[in-house]
Amino acid sequence: MSSHGATPVPALARRSAALKGRVRVPGDKSVSHRSLIFGALAVGETRISGLLEGEDVLNTAKACAALGASVTRLGEGEWSVHGVGVGGLRAPEGVLDFGNAGTGSRLMMGMVAGNPIAATFDGDASLRRRPMRRILDPLEKMGVEVLDAAEGGRLPLTLKGPQELVPITYESPVASAQIKSAVLLAGLGAPGETTVIEKEASRDHTERMLAHFGAEVSVEPYGAHGRKVTLKGRPELKPAPIHVPADPSSAAFPLVAALIVPGSDVLIEGVMTNPLRTGLLITLKEMGADIAFENERVEGGESVADIRVRASTLTGVDVPAERAPSMIDEYPVLAVAATFATGETRMNGLSELRVKESDRLQAVADGLAQAGARYRIEGDDLIVTGTGTGGAAGGGTVATHMDHRIAMSFLVMGLATDTPLKVDDISFIATSFPSFLAQMRDLGALIETEAVPA
Ligand SMILES: O=C(O)C1=C[C@@H](OP(=O)(O)O)[C@@H](O)[C@H](O)C1
Ligand SMILES: C=C(OP(=O)(O)O)C(=O)O
């Protein structure tokens, strides 16, 4: 289990004066997990810089070490991984504990599948609630045995890889980079071609990293919004240096804060602008946000830019369901922005939000209610009725349900509400954005953690 969470740490955000300055948010979480995993599967040393040292990623590092890779921290964000090669993992001695992390646990189930070893996966109370059948189903088709699992195929669970995996063509029932990546990572250990088809394209960091480490992978369009990814199994992965760009999902918090706190002007440096991650930026621009990309460049195979954002007058928009995979983690903070827009913002097709660290659709709705904002849920759609700048009232206490993004979103909201807004526990912010409080305060955000009234 994670070390935190036992004692909740409440915090209070107060209406702040204009936010000003530059900030570099930590490395991308998706790329960080994958850089450790691919480093562990390559033969030789992979050097990583800019790794996110959040709890989720540190758990992946520990699990890679337990499976036989040598993982060393050289300095801040600087890591070295000596990999054991595809098929070279050893059986771990203890349970692999992934804490709060869906990505780490699901990707590493795929990683383990290609080795004839058994491994037990576990996590905290939030992760134990999340669906794992979506990973077990394709892995079982490839020959993996589920030796033990909690009800509904949940954690804790024990997997055993077969002597010889069967390559498959898998059409994923949901657009999920975690499902796609688990099948492709398993496919590394299978002879022949493994194919994943997704009807809507999800983030492509695994495909990019497979190619970066020397695997043969092809990506073709599939239907209007989908992709077909095919991997040739059993490659020898060659170590390749990785520079992790700043995480757009973390950048979303100072970005929305700057939009809703009047007079703000903030520069967020080196943010990854991979088109499969920019749904929030597209949506906010449609809402009228003053967001400019400066110094656009390519770093470590990913497009990045400095993002300049100034407080803006926002207008509600309709966010199409097919945009969801490119902004799946950003809906809570978009809902916050929407309360400061004029008119309705309709966010369509949010069923996947129900199976994140919390039921995010409900947690966002309950948080908006605590802040006195107007919203309604229609099926899997969330509709927020904003009241323009100076929007919501604040005043309540938001339940975060072990969910870092709920905590950060509502702290951002409280920077612009009429009365302060409290969140019940900020300890899980350390899973993805450990420097959140310090960096937001540097910009001028008023967030208190001590002596928060009960
Ligand atoms: O592959 C990844 O790194 C991630 C994929 C997304 O999950 P799903 O694949 O479940 O949509 C996202 O929510 C998560 O934060 C990171
Ligand atoms: C959903 C998230 O992560 P994970 O699935 O890795 O727990 C997230 O970071 O918002």
CA distance 61 to 57: 6
Determine which helix (DSSP H) or strand (DSSP E) holds 382, and give its type and residue range: strand 381-387
List, for residues 18-54, the tens digit of each pLDDT value.
999 999 999 999 999 999 999 999 999 999 999 999 9
Determine which helix (DSSP H) or strand (DSSP E) holds 270, and give its type and residue range: strand 265-272
The pLDDT assigned to 203 comes to 98
Confidence of residue 185 (pLDDT cuts 50, 70, 90): very high
3-state secondary structure 316-364: CCEECHHHHHHHHHHHHHHHHHHHCEEEEEEECCCHHHHHCCCCHHHHH
Task: For residue 32, say whether it is annotated as part of any ligand binding site.
Answer: no
The pLDDT assigned to 449 comes to 95
Least confident of 112-116, 144-148, 266-270, 385-389: 385-389
Region 211-219: what's the mean pLDDT?
Answer: 97
Confidence of residue 1 (pLDDT cuts 50, 70, 90): very low
The pLDDT assigned to 390 comes to 65
pLDDT at 414 over 60: yes
Is the CB of residue 248 below 6 angstroms from any atom belonging to ligand 2? no
Confidence of residue 450 (pLDDT cuts 50, 70, 90): confident
Region 140-159: what's the mean pLDDT?
Answer: 98
Instruction: List, in order, residues 6 or more apart from 331 with CB less than 8 Å away.
Output: 324, 347, 350, 353, 360, 364, 382
The pLDDT assigned to 336 comes to 98
The pLDDT assigned to 2 comes to 41
| Probe residue for ligand 1, chosen from 33, 98, 203, 247 as the CB with the greatest number of ligand atoms within 8 Å | 203
Ligand 2 centroid to residue 347 C-alpha, Å: 19
CA distance 287 to 192: 47
Return the ligand number nearest the Cα of 34. Answer: 1
Instruction: List, in order, residues 6 or more apart from 137 with CB less than 8 Å away.
Output: none
Across the chain, what does the average pLDDT equal? 96
Region 386-408: what's the mean pLDDT?
Answer: 90
Region 80-86: what's the mean pLDDT?
Answer: 98
- Residues forming the active site: 329
Domains of the chain by start residue, with CATH: 11-27+245-448 (3.65.10.10), 29-243 (3.65.10.10)
**Type of residue found at 4:** H
Reference 321, options 343, 350, 345, 344; nearest CA is 350
The pLDDT assigned to 394 comes to 83
The DSSP-derived string for 3-18 is SSSSS---EEEE--S-
Ligand 1 environment, Cβ below 6 A: 30, 102-103, 176-178, 181, 202-203, 328-329, 352
Q: What percentage of the chain exceeds 90 in pLDDT?
A: 94
Q: Locate tokens 């170590």: which residue?
A: 239
pLDDT at 453 over 70: no
pLDDT at 3 over 60: no
Task: For residue 356, say whether it is annotated as part of any ligand binding site.
Answer: yes
- Please give the structure tokens belonging to residue 67: 């499976």
Q: Which atom of ligand 1 is nearest to 30's Cα?
A: 3
ipTM value: 0.99
Region 374-402: what's the mean pLDDT?
Answer: 91
pLDDT at 388 over 90: no
